[in-house]
Structure 1
Amino acid sequence: MYFYESGEKMKRDNTTTLKLLVEAIIVGIFTGLVVGLFRFGIEKTSAFWLDLFKKAHQNAVWFVAIVIGFIIVAVIAGYFVKQYPHVGGSGIPEVKLELQGKLSVKWFPILWRKLIGGILVIGTGLFLGPEGPSLQLGSSIGQGVGEGFKQTKTNSRVLLATGAASGLSAAFGAPLSGALFVLEEVFHNFSPRVWLNALAGALASNFVVSNFFGLHPSLAISYNHSFPLPLYWHLILLGLLLGILGHIYKLGLFSFKNVYKKITIIPRWLHGLIPLAILIPIAYFWPLITGPGNRLILSLSDTITTQGWITVRMLALFFILRISFSIVSYDSGLPSGIFLPILTMGALVGATYGTFMVQLGLMPAKLVVNLVIFSMAGLFAAIIRAPFTAIILITEMVGSLLHLMPLAVVAFIALLVDELLGGRPIYDSLAEAMQGKNGVAKASGHEDQLTVPVYESSQLVDEKVADISWPKDTLVKLIRRGSEEIIPNGQTTIAAGDMLVLAVDSGRRGQVYDEMRKLQEVELDG
């Protein structure tokens, strides 16, 4: 009888797993279509504005059209954010809070407003990227599919995470990075259930967009020279520099929000007018450096071949302009992201450092392009605090598996420097700031589930269930230990590597998440 019941349970579990996997692929397909449309819209809108600025060089009357157009963009995008505040920004903090049970949003109003608002805003040439919005677009689709198939709350969160991975995959053409980012930065835990579905969705979305945009890497930069070991001291210096600059960027991003708060002449929802006004002279004189930055990154291969102090000064100026205006653009609250702008700033740091060292005779010119690549991973690791994603992302975007070692060295040192300076993952900080506005969650009377990984350093290891001060109204339903599932009692001892399945009130899931994190001093799985 026992074997019969076990077999039936295994069959049901396999059916549920397969059904969820199929739904994850559906999420990936629809996300690929939507994000593909998003990317196409940004490309066409960007080309439109660049053409207008070219015409303005010939006839100043076109400035009138540009000003009117920018005002329309600011009003439309700002009004979307005024209607639904979670349309603003990248959307990644919202996804983190949703997965933790601390935020609930309506997916469709977010979806279409983010799509249209993102195309309008990012296409203007502001120093903003499409990757964060793409992630939120995907998560909205995942939420919609979960509701459509009437999934449980736990499986709905898996589909939401799958959509997030699919969105990032479609934006960068990087399925491994899309899935890895969700696990490393959003979940902070490599859950097999989430990993399987997230990767399936990411692959599906990447397949869809590849049919529209091709299979070539998004940042196909050729760098064939291995970085010699005797010159690794450059990587240490570069990592130190990137860690410091990444920390400064995060400080600036949060500090400048206070500047916007003091601007009362313009309503908060129209603050997008400020960066758009500043953009006009930048786009007129330096159109190459506008936008998310992919055009600028690809142009660096040619720029760094022109050696001289004037090149060093120009690259340094571009970096200062990019880092400052990226902060001004993002803090305005417009629908946008900072992924690609961060990579662009990193590339400029690498190019500036490399050309500077070439001028001093401390590095051959042929290796500068290597530093451009390494620096993108380093600055990403310092700011986002997701080093594995940084390494794999750059590898996928550049299209080369060479030089993983120097990539890892720069990313590790930059991350370490930010850690020593007291830095935190930028999306965690943004999510916490957002959470403070949402108030305290109340009990709903509906049961939900929270899965908690037990790490080696956890205070729960070797403790009996009855001896642990669990959060209020929390029940340990199940302990997954390898392939074994244990129904616990008070005398059950918790071991490192266990996955605790907790029954919690859906309204207090986020609060229980925080209490369990404090109890273990780790980030938790959803």
Structure 2
Amino acid sequence: MKFSHVKLYLLCIVVGGMTGLITVPFRYLLVKSSDLRDILFSSSYSWWFHPVIITIMWITGIAIWYLVKKYPIISGSGIPQIEGAIFGRFQFIHPLKALIAKFIGGVAGIGMGFSLGREGPSVQMGGFIAKLIGKWGKANISEQRYLYTGGASAGLSSAFTAPLASTIFIIEEVEKFDSVKIAISSLLAAIISGWIASQIFTVNSYTLINTAYPDEMNIGEIAIAFILFSTLLTIIGKTFNYLLLRFQKQYRGSRIPVSIRILGIIIVTYILGYFFSGLVAGGEKFLLKEANAIHTEMGILVILIIIKLLFTTLCYATGFPGGIFLPLLVIGGLTGKLFALLLIRIEILSPEHFGFFMLIGMSALFAAVVRSPITGIILILEMTQKFNMLIPITVVVGITYFISEIWKVKPIYDQLYKNLLPANYSQSDERITIPFEINTESYLAGRTNKTINLPYGCHIENVIRNNECISNKNYSLKPGDQINISLYSKDLEKLYRSLRNITNE
């Protein structure tokens, strides 16, 4: 193993440890804020108390808006921003300030009840920490990319205590490119961060969910149920994506003053918190409660699913720091329970088996919206420790993914990423330069500059070898060389992975 690889992996371990030390307290504060909300909304107060609390929440919301305005990079989930940083499209210029702002904004927004998840901020905070560690460790541009993947994986791992799923998510969704270095960098950081999370969050309530296989259903009934369930989840996933993007566009284009928009959402949050306290914030506690509550009316469950879906997409439109993973899992779990109650009503499923469909729903809805099926499968198995669910979850996720392909459900993070780009970027003729490192098994290693064929519109601007620029007209590329490739800015996302594959970085 090369010294540069050893250095990189040691830095990834440091990134994982530091990310865990930051994001685990973030998760802990959100748990405590949930307890405070329960006390707040379960107590009786004088009439004047309610406007006072709403005013405090309003001021908090305006403060979060100010943070997002001052540091736009912290808005929303943070996962698309990490992807852009890996591409070289976005720069984390002030990572420490952005890290603090994301932490405070996430705790404040989710803590007061906005229906957002902890995973997005955790992932982006991991990216900010990776940038800081990269500066400290004097990482080159290539190494910094791997540190970003390690930081993002570590953040997701600490959010759900799921290091394997976090690593797969980086490969499947963020990088969409596999290499040994990506896998090792991500896994090392995720294991360290996940271990820190496991030392604090020692109780896993998901293991209490009854997921016994419904033996009373024959193979034909199971097959029909899985197909119908997958179709329902795809419809909900497509609706979720549409509303998320629609509300985001309308919120940004609204002429209503920002303070009034924030006040409106604050009032909605407070009302929902007062009457349905479990539906605000991520909703994980409510999901676990429903997993053990047999006597829930189907009509009420339909209303709760609709409210959670609308409230989540509305909250995300504000741009406040927060993700969609956890709300998605809640919506998927509740949909699974609704479908199970329907099967119970027509007397082909026993009441004790609705947990079986809840876990399947969590995984399959994630696959429908994010379009990362392997992550969806492994995440739920790792979170719940219900490995007996591997086959049924895989089957339904596969069917859901297939239906989503037919109905052209686009991956939500790809669409959110495009919304971060300048409006006219696809028509721009601006050229940018992206550096890549030549690795031993690269297609380019040993080739002369005159025999290299790059994708259309790309050319090598210069080559850095041993910290010196090669100025010869004729040269051969060697492992360890840094080549700076010039290309049209509009082609970056389209060509990035091809160029990285050619260099075998």
- 8 Å contact from structure 1 (residues 239, 410) kept in 2: yes
Structure 2 letter corresponding to 1:289: L
Pair 65,50 (structure 1): closer, same or farther in 2 beyond 3 Å: farther
- 8 Å contact from structure 1 (residues 142, 160) kept in 2: yes
Q: State the alpha-carbon separation in 1 of the partners of residues 375 and 68 from structure 2.
A: 30
Q: State the alpha-carbon separation in 2 of the partners of residues 392 and 451 from structure 1.
A: 33
Q: State the alpha-carbon separation in 1 of the partners of residues 314 and 504 from structure 2.
A: 34
Match of 2:257 among 266, 290, 300: 266
Pair 512,258 (structure 1): closer, same or farther in 2 beyond 3 Å: closer
- 8 Å contact from structure 1 (residues 52, 66) kept in 2: no
Aligned to 1:8: none
Pair 213,177 (structure 1): closer, same or farther in 2 beyond 3 Å: same
Aligned to 1:235: 226
Q: State the alpha-carbon separation in 1 of the partners of residues 199 and 67 from structure 2.
A: 31
- 8 Å contact from structure 1 (residues 101, 509) kept in 2: no
The answer to whether 1:222 aligns with 2:218 is no
- 8 Å contact from structure 1 (residues 475, 502) kept in 2: no
Match of 1:71 among 58, 75, 85: 58
Deviation string, structure 1 residues 106-149 (Cα, Å, up to 9, x no partner): 21221000000000000112211111110001111011101111
Pair 475,218 (structure 1): closer, same or farther in 2 beyond 3 Å: farther
Structure 2 letter corresponding to 1:35: T
Aligned to 1:514: 493
3-state SS in 1 of match to 2:435: strand
The answer to whether 1:344 aligns with 2:330 is yes
Deviation at 1:354, TM superposition (A): 0.7
Pair 147,517 (structure 1): closer, same or farther in 2 beyond 3 Å: closer
Deviation at 1:414, TM superposition (A): 1.5
Match of 2:285 among 289, 295, 298: 295
Aligned to 1:495: none
Deviation at 1:52, TM superposition (A): 2.3
Deviation at 1:436, TM superposition (A): 2.6
Deviation at 1:519, TM superposition (A): 7.6
Aligned to 2:298: 312
Deviation string, structure 1 residues 277-316 (Cα, Å, up to 9, x no partner): 111111111112222011111012232x226xxx111111
Q: State the alpha-carbon separation in 2 of the partners of residues 62 and 207 from structure 1.
A: 42
Of 151-160 and 216-225, the range deviating more from structure 2: 216-225
Deviation at 1:233, TM superposition (A): 2.1
Structure 2 letter corresponding to 1:151: A
Structure 1 letter corresponding to 2:56: G
3-state SS in 1 of match to 2:47: coil
Deviation at 1:263, TM superposition (A): 2.8
Q: CA RMSD in A?
A: 3.1
The answer to whether 1:449 aligns with 2:428 is no
Structure 2, unaligned stretches of length 5 or more? 442-449, 464-473
Match of 1:371 among 357, 363, 371: 357
Q: How does 1:140-155 map to 2 (within 5 A)?
A: 140-155=128-143
Structure 2 letter corresponding to 1:80: L
3-state SS in 2 of match to 1:471: coil
Aligned to 1:503: 483
- 8 Å contact from structure 1 (residues 223, 369) kept in 2: yes
Q: State the alpha-carbon separation in 2 of the partners of residues 323 and 103 from structure 1.
A: 30
The answer to whether 1:90 aligns with 2:53 is no
Structure 1 letter corresponding to 2:419: A
Q: State the alpha-carbon separation in 2 of the partners of residues 78 and 286 from structure 1.
A: 25
Deviation at 1:468, TM superposition (A): 5.8
Deviation at 1:469, TM superposition (A): 4.7
Q: How does 1:419-438 map to 2 (within 5 A)?
A: 419-437=405-423
Q: How does 1:322-471 map to 2 (within 5 A)?
A: 322-437=308-423, 439=425, 448-449=435-436, 469-471=455-457
Structure 1, unaligned stretches of length 5 or more? 1-12, 455-463, 478-488, 493-498
Q: State the alpha-carbon separation in 1 of the partners of residues 151 and 476 from structure 2.
A: 40
- 8 Å contact from structure 1 (residues 465, 491) kept in 2: no
- 8 Å contact from structure 1 (residues 24, 162) kept in 2: yes
Deviation string, structure 1 residues 187-212 (Cα, Å, up to 9, x no partner): 01222101101100000011112222
Pair 148,275 (structure 1): closer, same or farther in 2 beyond 3 Å: same
Structure 2 letter corresponding to 1:21: Y
Aligned to 1:139: 127
Q: State the alpha-carbon separation in 2 of the partners of residues 169 and 438 from structure 1.
A: 36
Q: State the alpha-carbon separation in 1 of the partners of residues 112 and 438 from structure 2.
A: 43
Q: State the alpha-carbon separation in 2 of the partners of residues 388 and 258 from structure 1.
A: 30
Pair 441,183 (structure 1): closer, same or farther in 2 beyond 3 Å: farther
Deviation string, structure 1 residues 348-404 (Cα, Å, up to 9, x no partner): 110111101211123222221100000000000000111000000000111121121
**Residue-pair matches, total:** 478
- 8 Å contact from structure 2 (residues 373, 398) kept in 1: yes
Match of 1:53 among 14, 38, 41: 41
3-state SS in 1 of match to 2:292: helix
- 8 Å contact from structure 1 (residues 272, 333) kept in 2: no
Aligned to 1:461: none
- 8 Å contact from structure 2 (residues 430, 488) kept in 1: no
Structure 1 letter corresponding to 2:483: A
Structure 2 letter corresponding to 1:124: M
Deviation at 1:501, TM superposition (A): 9.3
- 8 Å contact from structure 2 (residues 77, 121) kept in 1: yes
3-state SS in 1 of match to 2:484: strand
Structure 1 letter corresponding to 2:213: S
Deviation at 1:500, TM superposition (A): 13
Structure 2 letter corresponding to 1:504: N
Pair 219,20 (structure 1): closer, same or farther in 2 beyond 3 Å: same
Structure 2 letter corresponding to 1:114: K
Deviation at 1:517, TM superposition (A): 6.2
The answer to whether 1:275 aligns with 2:256 is no
Q: State the alpha-carbon separation in 2 of the partners of residues 430 and 95 from structure 1.
A: 12
Q: State the alpha-carbon separation in 2 of the partners of residues 113 and 236 from structure 1.
A: 44
3-state SS in 2 of match to 1:474: strand
Structure 2 letter corresponding to 1:352: L
3-state SS in 1 of match to 2:2: helix
- 8 Å contact from structure 1 (residues 166, 202) kept in 2: yes
3-state SS in 2 of match to 1:134: helix
- 8 Å contact from structure 2 (residues 205, 288) kept in 1: no
Aligned to 2:183: 195
